[in-house]
Structure 1
Amino acid sequence: MLDRLNGIVKAIRITADARLGLILAGSVLVLDQVSKWLVLDRLAFSPPGCLDFQRADALARSGMVNNCGHIEVSPVFDLTMVWNKGVSFGLLGADGMLGRFLLVGFSVIVALALLAGLLSLGPFKAVRRWQAIAFGLIIGGALGNAVDRALYGAVADFLNFSDMMFPWVFNIADVGINLGVAAILIDVFIFDREKRPTKM
């Protein structure tokens, strides 16, 4: 067992790109959790009854009051408290304890697999800078939302650009995940293509 652990430790390579990915992961996670603390604790955007209202189905909501916080910051941006039962931008909603912990487990597994990739372990190694950036952003976002789901059974979303015809309310973890996916696409379609030999 010790030999195997020593082998894993020796295989870990923390390159400059891996450090960048780790810094991004930590930054997204900290910014996400601090912003949620400000909204939930300092602004008290989720008083008693708000989470119950957001988690209720449409029929149950008809007899409830929505007391969740809302501040109109500008003509294009509001702070609006929404508890999201799904993944990023409300996709793949999960009700009940089993669905909640499956999503937490999935998020943690994704984060660990990408962390292993940053450290040059496992099948998904980050071999280019854009991959390390992508992995770091997704790790931070996945863990940020997993913390909410484990603590509350739903994810705290509050950034609202619906006045700009963007219908989803989201948080900093969602931004990290989506920027990470964009970085993967940039890497695949630009940097990976540059490395491929041209056909004669």
Structure 2
Amino acid sequence: MTPAVRAGIAAAVAALIADQASKLWLLFAFDIGRRGAVRVTPFFDLVLAWNTGISYGWFQTDSPVGAAVLLVVKALAVVLLAVWMARSHTHMATIGLGLIIGGAIGNAIDRFAYGAVMDFALFHLQYAGQTYSWYIFNLADVAIVVGVIALLYDSFIGTSAAKAP
């Protein structure tokens, strides 16, 4: 196993642990379900939302069959990403892939355990009497986005990209 792959695995494990620890703490220690929305700053709230779909709430499904299909798709994606990570030659790409894998597994655990993904972070802005909100998300989503950014950086700006003809 190469040092790059070890770094990718470490990133996946770190993302998974951070995601699941934050969700378990919010659900069972902080009891966010009972508290409702909690204002942390003027632009950030902790809220409890259950996403039965995929990114941004697309493909919402309350059926067990739909949930099973999403789990199978996610498992297949994780396997393909792991193969890609094992064949990758740069630390940036393997860490990015590891973050995506860790985030995907974290959300899959939610889907398996609760039938939906637990989201809790809400950024919002008030301007001219209007409230503008971002989608509610979790740390697995953050890991996936950072992983994609790392892959894009590695592809377009990284050392290998600079050497490409």
* Same fold by TM-score greater than 0.5: yes
**Equivalent position of 1:36 in the other structure:** 23
Higher relative contact order (Cα pairs below 8 Å, separated by 6+ residues): 2
Q: 1:145-172 deviations in whole A, cap 9, x for unaligned?
A: 0000011111000011123744201000
- Structure 1 position 91, deviation (Å): 3.0
Q: Larger Cα Rg: Structure 1 or Structure 2?
A: 1
**Equivalent position of 2:62 in the other structure:** 95
Residues 180 and 91 of structure 1: CA distance in aligned 2, closer, same or farther (over 3 Å):
farther
**Identity between Structure 1 and Structure 2 (%):** 38
User: Which of 177, 181, 184 lines up with 2:148 in the alignment?
Assistant: 181
Tell me which amino acid in the other structure corresponds to 2:38.
I
1:45 aligns with 2:26: no
User: Which of 35, 59, 80 lines up with 1:113 in the alignment?
Assistant: 80
1:138 aligns with 2:111: no
Paired residues of 1:86 and 1:92 also in contact (CA < 8 A): yes
User: Which of 5, 15, 38 lines up with 2:2 in the alignment?
Assistant: 15
User: Which of 134, 158, 170 lines up with 2:137 in the alignment?
Assistant: 170
**Equivalent position of 1:63 in the other structure:** none
Paired residues of 1:162 and 1:168 also in contact (CA < 8 A): no
Paired residues of 1:89 and 1:174 also in contact (CA < 8 A): no
More strand by share: 2
1:24 aligns with 2:18: no
Gapped runs of 5+ residues in structure 2?
127-131
User: Which of 34, 57, 72 lines up with 2:39 in the alignment?
Assistant: 72
TM-score by length of 1: 0.74
